[in-house]
Amino acid sequence: MKVLVTGGMGYIGSHTCVELLERGMDVVIVDNLCNSKAQARERVAAITGKSPLFYQLDVRDVEALAAVFRIHTFDCVIHFAGLKAVGESVEKPLLYYDNNLNATINLCRVMDRFGCRNIIFSSSATVYSPDNQLPLTEQSRVGDCSNPYGWTKYMGEQILRSMAQADPRWSVVLLRYFNPVGAHESGDIGEDPRGIPNNLMPYISQVAIGRRERLSVFGDDYPTPDGTGVRDYIHVVDLARGHVAAIDYLMSHKGTEAFNLGTGVGYSVLDMVKAFETANHIEIPYQIAPRRAGDLPEVYADPSKSAEILGWTAQHTLEDMCRDSFRWQSKNPQGYDG
């Protein structure tokens, strides 16, 4: 099985490459390194003993991408490449629509040209409308996204659906991730955000190693048990394994199918702080701050469709997520730069 992994040098992509390589698959990565570092590839090679091929290119560059397809015959593509910072997408919407949508469109054109029509797309829980009942199932309403990033995922899904409807040779799996956290248990690959982290777990990890003074908890007056926001955190290695399960499904079905990748359990911000403190025997100073614009009180998945059809369920505990995040951050205080 030869798999093209777009965005494979990034956080989720690098963990997925490890799982693919460990199962004996051939992996080719394309990435423009706009939000990742070349060292990720060396780390993946050190973990697995196998070095994935890497081409530095922008997925929007049709000719550069076609050159890779001329060299390799792929069985399928996992399409991670995309920009993902919610706040930045509000400030620079065209950057997000251009990068995320044109990358997807160009990739599909090139795949079609070379006769590879099996694609797994990185989607997000953010495609679900804010007014759904919980837990979110794949049947929950989508749309009414609160930021351009979310709309690029919504539109990306729609583009792929339309394409598969028009041409029955396509097989499309849409994976809707909830909140990926944690790192490979080696502590050698992990999330390496640029600048001040937007997301909770990287922020907590940086407080833990003294890079940030204290966590700001965005709102303690939500209608949740302790008043802080509740999310469905999933260990990135479980998420990566969800892609392996999705490949089996992809290769034996046509058309489009969406799957939630979450645990089905919601934890609050303060639950996360306590779990991190307990798992790592360290104190996380925090202060209560105003709510962050666009945040929902509570988001968690119903992952039963993935369990039934893909045969996949998340295995790692909250303690694993906290311990592995801290191990990565402690071994790499400045991320891949040291």
Catalytic amino acids?
149
For residue 204, the partner it binds in ligand NAD, ligand UFG, none, with Cβ less than 5 to 8 A by kind, is none
Least CB distance from residue 136 to ligand UFG, whole Å?
Answer: 9
Distance CA 209, CA 120 (A): 36
Which CB atom, from 29 or from 230, has the smaller least distance to ligand UFG? 230
Residue with the two structure tokens 């400045």:
334
Distance CA 208, CA 195 (A): 16
The contact set with ligand UFG (CB under 6 A) reads 84, 86, 124-126, 178-179, 198-200, 203, 215-218, 229, 231, 269, 292, 295, 299
Q: Which residue is nearest to ligand UFG (CB)?
A: 229
What radius of gyration do the chain's Cα atoms show? 19
For residue 7, the partner it binds in ligand NAD, ligand UFG, none, with Cβ less than 5 to 8 A by kind, is ligand NAD
Pair 117, 42: CB distance under 8 Å: no
Least CB distance from residue 332 to ligand UFG, whole Å?
Answer: 20
Count, in order, helices (H) and strands (E) of the chain. 12, 13
Which CB atom, from 12 or from 273, has the smaller least distance to ligand NAD? 12
For residue 220, the partner it binds in ligand UFG, ligand NAD, none, with Cβ less than 5 to 8 A by kind, is none
Strands (E), the chain: 2-6, 26-31, 53-56, 76-79, 118-124, 171-177, 179-181, 215-218, 230-231, 233-235, 255-261, 267-268, 286-289
Residue (of 199, 203, 248, 227) closest to 297 by Cα position: 227
For residue 33, the partner it binds in ligand UFG, ligand NAD, none, with Cβ less than 5 to 8 A by kind, is ligand NAD
DSSP track, 10-41: SHHHHHHHHHHHHTT-EEEEEE--TTS-THHH
Least CB distance from residue 12 to ligand UFG, whole Å?
Answer: 11
Which CB atom, from 153 or from 241, has the smaller least distance to ligand UFG? 153
The contact set with ligand NAD (CB under 6 A) reads 7, 9-13, 31-36, 58-60, 80-84, 99, 103, 122, 124, 177, 180
Which CB atom, from 118 or from 124, has the smaller least distance to ligand UFG? 124
Which CB atom, from 48 or from 146, has the smaller least distance to ligand UFG? 146
